[in-house]
Amino acid sequence: MTTQITMPALSPTMEEGNLTKWHVKAGDSVEPGQVIAEIETDKATMEVEAVDEGVIAEILVAEGTQGVKVNTPIATLAGEGEAAKPATKQETKPQAAPTQAKPQPEQPSSARAPAKQTVAAEATPAGRVHASPLARRLAEQGGIDLAGLKGSGPNGRIVKADVEAAAKSPRAAQAAQQAPAQESRELTRQAPSAQAPMPHKSSEQQGIRAGSYDLVPLDLMRKTIAKRMTESFRDVPHFPLNIDIEIDTLLKARAEINKRFGDKGVKISVNDMCIKAAALALKLVPEANASYTPDGIAVHHHADVAVAVAIPGGLITPIIWAAETKGLAQISHEMADLAERARTKKLKPEEFQGGTFSISNMGMMGIKSFASIINEPHGMIMSIGAGEKRPVVKNDALAIATMMSVTVTCDHRVVDGALGAAFLKAFRGFLEDPMAMLL
């Protein structure tokens, strides 16, 4: 029996990817879990694994092909004893953008055609997860992240028993409860707009003089950023709240921590302390740690803080999960590791997809104040400006203090003005009195 290996969707919003490399060729035998190709998405480079055993019969999409649509057949897999087809021109010459294959309807196993069926390839990050096909199916059905499991099978492979044990954990139950709301949000986002889309305009039609510019093609990251930010700015009713925070005490506490524990590899940044303070403020004002969904307001159990990191061609927001439970040293270590791997596109999907709140800090670039666009489904995003010496009034007298301007952009469907102000008050309290973060 011949099956088709298709381009997998690595996230709910992924529409296409670049097939950067094949690890197999026509005639090679493969087994479940074996890496057969690499895919570049807008955020990371991923590995594609075979889900069935057999022989690669034909390579349908050449390595180097850009913009391969999700569900497009990229190769065929023949059963044992079936001959592989000779290489085609597609294997040696990349094509521009292959046409998306029509999705095949799911049929009961007893009713499937004996000649061919379509199977989506498994994809994992560069540090791939070894799991049996049954374990993968059970994890997908239960909304369980295989990357967080430790396998008890041969060579650390994740098996059925590992997934069943994970399904009983509180975190798995929480993910299962949030899954319907997430699916509903994605369906809403993908639903066709009642308003007809604007026709595409070329550069010249926009008024740019021909021959006066160099056109840089849009890569997957820039396309995704353009689409998501346009949707957010257009569809989310948002408003900013601004506050100035005195951080002299914070800077002294940071310097003391780094002096005392620097020999142990601890190097705390102002950004690390802002992550911790934001997480604690979200727990102190839990109604602000929420997301809007068509089914209701999702009030999150933990403060999962996504932090914007600039990378070549755009940005990505790796997440400090349950930041309220972690100390400053752990937050600092995790943030440094995430930022480094973000710049080399080595993050796992679960490290940058999700979260409950966003932080963007451009203070190190000298930006005094700015407002960010909400990163759905987060209810707020915080914009942190530079700390600078400013004249202030203390006890009716003029004084000098180090001040930092902070802006939160709020989704008014979730966080109204009073709620956003309560969050900012709590956040300022933690920064102006860092010892409160230890309580």
Catalytic residues: 412
Distances (CA, A) of 331 to 67, 335, 336: 36, 6, 9
Helix (H, G, I), strand (E, B) or coil at 406: strand
Residue 326 CA: distances (Å) to CA of 273, 280, 350: 11, 10, 18
Q: Is 178 buried (19+), middle (13-18) or exposed (0-12) by CB count in 10 A?
A: middle
Containing H/E element for 401? strand 397-411
* Planar angle of CA 242, 425, 255, nearest 5 degrees: 90
Omega before 377 within 30 of 0, i.e. cis = yes
Q: In what order do the strands lie in the sheet with 319-320?
A: 238-246, 397-411, 380-394, 357-361, 305-307, 319-320
The rounded distance, in Å, linking the Cα atoms of 283 and 414 is 16
SS3 45: strand
Q: Checking phi first, is residue 20 left (phi over 0); if not, alpha (psi -120 to 50) or beta?
A: alpha
Rounded-to-integer distance, Cα 127 and Cα 133, Å: 18
Around Cβ 20, how many Cβ atoms within 10 Å?
A: 15
d(CA 226, CA 146): 31
